[in-house]
Structure 1
Amino acid sequence: MTAEIGRPIGDDVSVAELESVLRRVIAKSAPASSVDDLVQDAVVRVLAARERLTPDSLLAYGIVVARNVLVEDRRRAERRARLEPQLADTRQPELPDAAAMAADEQSALRAALGNLSETDRTALLRHDLDGVDVGDLAGEHGASAGAVATRLSRSRARLRVEYVVAMRRLRLPTTKCLPVLHALSAGDARRQLRLSADRHLLDCPTCASVAPALVERRRSLVAWLGLGPLVEAVRASWARRSPRSTTTAAAGAGAAVVAALAVVLLVTPSSDPATNDPLTAPVPVPMAAPAPACSEVTVGGRPLVAEAPSSLQAGAGQPVAATGVVVSAVPADEGFWFGCGPFRLWAQLTDTGEESAVRIRPGNRLTFTGTLALHGAEWPAAQGVDADEGAAELAAAGVHVEVTASSVTVSP
């Protein structure tokens, strides 16, 4: 947003006059080194709001904005003073891979922030990093504190999901994964019920592996991540993307984003149940899954107990015996999925040459023996398993059961 210095922005008020008034207010309390930046921030905010102000209220509104800018600057300084000691801890030796870990965390956090809208990203950083109160954001733009708090809470929940997925380099296997993870992170019990989240966690080992991290909620984004200085660094990198100076970008983004946030909150009703404080509402806990054991299958003579198929990789080469397991899908002529407790496993018939004479259909109950075998990421495609048939799930498992056709007994 630009305006000529001498151009009137009200009936009798010019940008120069507005800047002069704001400078007098700010200079009384701010350090001399910060006055120019704070004045620029205040001017940008007033200009962003001028179309909804009457000419005779412009200067009065500007004085209020200037005072708010001073309060935010003081809070930012106080928070910086608290976070700076975390930048270096001389009591602990630096680990050899500390730099690599920090780079991974920063990359994951930048990716997570990048997946939020600019409005949500900037508002969340202003609140959780700069310490701007929900009440201040709501009061400046006429939105209710509850609506602003709910919007921030949902943004924080989405950021938790995006950060964990990016940090663990996960590829979510289904389109249902992201909505379920968002519902878990937000503690939205109604949406969890609508999405059958508990059932999805039983069927999707990828989501089941990250669910515990998502339900460990914290009021503060910085506290939850434990990455205050890192968030500041990533925030600065976003500001540097603007062709304008960092100060101008920060000031302009602050005003424009808060204004846009107010509009979004005013026209978008919350779907959450009414609460006194959405940020501290209790977290619904997903329904408990049954014990991850599969008594119908033994590995090495012992009942199979595992959290996910991938955890079976250490048992590769051991004998497997299955009794009365149910076939859930038959995507390939020589391979099929069968249910095993809280997840499913892939069985591959090993008869060479022609296709096996054994005819297996979904719903059949099978008894067979075989061997636990490892496979690589390209193996599912080589067996003719495509994305809709569970190729990603099979690749993530990294293990299957090699079964000789002669050992298979089929029951309808």
Structure 2
Amino acid sequence: MSATPGDEARFRILYADNFPLLLAYALRRVEQPDDAADVVAETFLVAWRRSRELPPEPEVRLWLYGVARRVLANFHRGGVRRERLGERLRERLTAVFAADPGVEVPERLAVRAALARLSEPDREVLMLTAWEGLEPREVATVLGVSAAAVRTRLSRARSRLREMTGDDARPAGHVLDVLTTPAPKEAR
């Protein structure tokens, strides 16, 4: 359903007449001006999508305020969810990084330097497998190749990385072990 020239003209007038009022309404209800702009944009998006259902002129402003009110409610609910998610993420990151990260700096630098010297395909297959925790079949989907090709690439990339970083055995949990651990077992 496309808009007619009459619908577009009516919407332009509706927008021009109500934008400043709705922006002021939103600015008084959010902390950041960018958030207010997003609320008003979403409000007018709803109005555009429902342009054929808009009430007549005396009530259209009230209708827009009602839409803006619901958009704001969604915005605030989303903010609460984002805040809760952020708190959970901060808790997890605190637990992960509670140890002194300075101890592993030399090893991390050596691994990063070796990764930088690898070819892009080798680096990508290693990072998708070790850092993202993807199984070879999942890496295959990401890269658009077969799982067998991923397994071959992964084996060769690990060998190249071991050659660049040294083939000495490291204690469990060492940074290099992350990159040389076996690929996760695939569900069959």
Q: Give the alignment's TM-score, normalised by structure 1.
A: 0.22
Q: By percentage of residues, which structure has more helix?
A: 2
Q: By percentage of residues, which structure has more strand?
A: 1
Structure with higher Rg: it is 1
Q: Give the alignment's TM-score, normalised by structure 2.
A: 0.44
Higher relative contact order (CA 8 A, sep 6+): 2
